[in-house]
């Protein structure tokens, strides 16, 4: 197949109209409390909220052991059985591109569980790496396979006008594409995603186990405005990292809107840790571990936002900030997502938009 750039396919802005959303149900006992049973209630509410606006493709593994029947026979929701290793659709599915005529194409990048045998989060990841191929069949979408290049959807964010955000901590990590230089990685991103410029932030959210994905740290709200996570605690390392990022973004002509992370930061409770089974094939999740909670990790379409809720004072701050920015034009559904956070991600991480086709 020809290279996506040669026929002007680009990565759209997430806040545009979608053809649908992909979500994978959780099941791992070494990542999710009670094998995903507790998190399912949050997944369910997110699925129902998105289905008010667009079709939700719910992907279910045969390893899902809890009752998911509430999702069956619902408007705008379909369930499909495909195998995968974990439920982070942002990272292990497909990247959807669009050309000016409205035709869709996807890129299926390589996936190695956020770092492979260097610092990946679980092993094996074969089903995840094969998931894009199976989804391309399901959705009947033309796909370009770039499996030798490791890239997760959460590590990039596009303004839809040729500008891409990413972090050095993630894309330059040893467990991904260590045979490539920063310049080579940047050129590959431009080529494969139809981008004109890449802005590199040094860091993401502190202790983000994905090697600091940008989608937990910074995202475009429109073509020129970036929402950037920060800390109320000036002595916290997150505040230092966020101020460095703010300076870089503003030096590139972007407007920056700051949103506070929960303060004090959230951490894993003993009850939560005890609900996750430790084994040698996945990252241990232990009492007291700092959680990378951030309101930037929301999901949006043309008319909606699905925003994390942690039951802390900063919840309403984040809601009001986004509601004011969009002047109520995007309906904000703030949904509790603590159980998703315990597993290492949040609402943006469990969703992948299918860009609007012709």
Q: Which residues are catalytic?
A: 349
What sign does the CA torsion over 155, 24, 316, 341 have?
A: negative
> Beta 225-230 vs 255-260: how paired, if at all?
parallel
Residue 39's contacts (CB-CB under 8 Å, 6 or more residues apart) are: 26, 32, 33, 339, 340, 342, 343
SS (H, E, C) 274-295: HCCCCCCCECCCCCCCECCCCC
**Residue 25 is encoded by which pair of tokens?**
């149900």
Cα angle 40, 311, 232 (rounded to 5 degrees) comes to 125
Q: Which residues contact 336 (CB under 8 A, 6 or more apart)?
A: 42, 45, 309, 310, 311
């Amino acid at each position: 197949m020809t290279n996506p750039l040669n026929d002007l396919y680009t990565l759209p802005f997430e806040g545009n109209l979608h053809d649908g959303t992909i979500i994978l149900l959780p099941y791992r006992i070494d990542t999710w409390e009670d094998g995903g049973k507790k998190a399912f209630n949050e997944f369910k509410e997110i699925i129902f909220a998105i289905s008010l606006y667009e079709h939700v493709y719910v992907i279910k593994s045969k390893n899902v052991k809890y009752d998911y029947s509430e999702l069956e026979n619902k408007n705008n929701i379909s369930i499909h059985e495909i195998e995968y290793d974990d439920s982070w659709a942002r990272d292990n599915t497909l990247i959807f591109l669009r050309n000016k005529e409205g035709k869709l194409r996807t890129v299926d990048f390589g996936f190695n569980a956020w770092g492979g045998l260097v610092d990946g989060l679980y092993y094996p990841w074969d089903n995840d790496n094969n998931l894009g191929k199976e989804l391309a069949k399901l959705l009947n979408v033309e796909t370009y396979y770039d499996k030798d290049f490791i890239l997760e959807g959460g590590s990039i964010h596009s303004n839809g006008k040729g500008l891409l955000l990413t972090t050095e901590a993630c894309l330059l990590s040893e467990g991904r594409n260590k045979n490539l230089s920063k310049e080579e990685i940047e050129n590959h991103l431009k080529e494969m995603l139809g981008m004109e410029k890449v802005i590199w932030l040094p860091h993401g959210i502190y202790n983000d186990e994905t090697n600091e994905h940008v989608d937990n740290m910074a995202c475009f709200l429109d073509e020129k405005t970036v929402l950037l996570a920060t800390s109320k605690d000036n002595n916290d390392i997150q505040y230092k990292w966020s101020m460095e990022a703010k300076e870089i973004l503003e030096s590139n002509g972007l407007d920056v809107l700051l949103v506070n992370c929960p303060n004090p930061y959230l951490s894993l409770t003993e009850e939560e840790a005890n609900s996750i089974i430790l084994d040698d094939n996945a990252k241990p999740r232990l009492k007291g571990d700092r959680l990378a909670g951030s309101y930037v990790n929301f999901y949006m379409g043309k008319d909606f936002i699905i925003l994390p809720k942690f039951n802390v004072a900063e919840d309403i701050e984040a809601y009001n900030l986004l509601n004011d920015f969009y002047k109520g034009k995007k309906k904000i559904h703030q949904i509790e997502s603590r159980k998703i956070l315990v597993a290492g991600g949040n609402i943006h991480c469990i969703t992948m938009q299918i860009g609007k086709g012709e």
